Amino acid sequence: MATHTASASFPCIIEIGPYRYRIDTPVAALRRDIARLYAEFPWLDSSHIADFSIQIKAPSIIRKFFRRNVHGITDLEMPFFPVPVHHALTCLEMSINWQTAMGSLRHLILHASGVARGDVSIIMPGESGSGKSTLAAALGYRNGWRFMGDEFALLDPNTGMHQPYPRPASLKNESIPVMQTEAPAEQFSQMFHNTHKGTICFIKPQKTAIEAMHVQAKPVMIVFPHFAANAEPKLHPLMQAEAFVKLVSGSANYDRMGEAGFRLLSTVVKQCSAYVLTYSSFDQAESLLLGALKELGHG
């Protein structure tokens, strides 16, 4: 496994779910970080075509030496500021997000995390800070669950299915120590302190989730997670129409998908039960979700 880690050559092409990214950077530390964080993903040689090209490098020659920072160069203009060179990995993750969200119309891209159980899946939309990433990452390390992605839930217009996109999950601030009790230490990246979102850390998906990254699942639940310490855990039903509107407003490309996007999302929302999940521990969240799945006949 991961024989490329020692000999990783750049530019590299990494396959993540349905997309292939050509990534290049002159920053040696970032190369090591990428090799480690993406070790279990397929690394392809240059006889493969990549969908998207991303470079992470210093914005000017001065910044290679003085107050060193880097920025991301994608196929699309990036509205982001450079970050200090020791935050380069966060810059790469942001660049991949931006490039994918703006560049792909092959899938309807929802701002949501996702988990699957067997051949059915749960889409968990939410704003930054709602706990959607942490919940998906945590469930992904529990028995019987499969991590489908922490930032984007992809829906395939051809099949109406949930397409896995199991990138390393981005954990922020308080969620980091919480996750450290859920997954082995070697699955975590180093901590990035003082970013514009506070402290960030990435956690790799389980290897099994990466191996199954081409296996689509049928979405049966849409769950808006809401972490609230000491709150009464509950799963509050939501009208499908409301779920639809919320998903649209959080979609990266719904407006550019046209009718295909509308048809796809209508079909998916109609086949799903929608809830708001209030929880203060992963155990509560897991048992509520299992209960709801069982009720829907997916026990």
Footprint of other proteins (CB under 8 A): 13, 20, 22, 46-53, 55, 57, 59, 73, 75-76, 103-106, 255-258, 260
Cα 195 to Cα 223: distance, rounded to the nearest angstrom = 29
If we measure between CA atoms, which residue out of 198, 197, 178 comes closest to residue 137? 178
Minimum gap (Å) between residue 42 Cβ and other proteins? 14
> Which residue, 36 or 106, is less far from other proteins as judged by CB?
106
Q: What are the residues whose beta carbons fall under 8 Å from the beta carbon of 141, sequence distance 6 or more?
A: 182, 183, 206
DSSP 217: B
Q: Is 162 helix (H, G, I), strand (E, B) or coil?
A: strand
> Which residue, 1 or 66, is less far from other proteins as judged by CB?
66
Q: CB–CB of 149/136 below 8 Å?
A: yes
Minimum gap (Å) between residue 185 Cβ and other proteins? 36
Minimum gap (Å) between residue 283 Cβ and other proteins? 41
Minimum gap (Å) between residue 108 Cβ and other proteins? 12
> Which residue, 52 or 282, is less far from other proteins as judged by CB?
52
> Which residue, 103 or 233, is less far from other proteins as judged by CB?
103
Tokens 């601030």, residue located: 173
Q: What are the residues whose beta carbons fall under 8 Å from the beta carbon of 7, sequence distance 6 or more?
A: none
> Which residue, 157 or 160, is less far from other proteins as judged by CB?
157
Minimum gap (Å) between residue 4 Cβ and other proteins? 18
Q: CB–CB of 166/175 below 8 Å?
A: no
Phi and psi at residue 19, in whole multiples of 5°? Answer: -110, 150
How crowded is residue 161: how many other Cβ atoms within 10 Å of its Cβ? 18
Minimum gap (Å) between residue 24 Cβ and other proteins? 11
Q: Is 101 helix (H, G, I), strand (E, B) or coil?
A: helix
Cα 9 to Cα 231: distance, rounded to the nearest angstrom = 49
> Which residue, 62 or 191, is less far from other proteins as judged by CB?
62
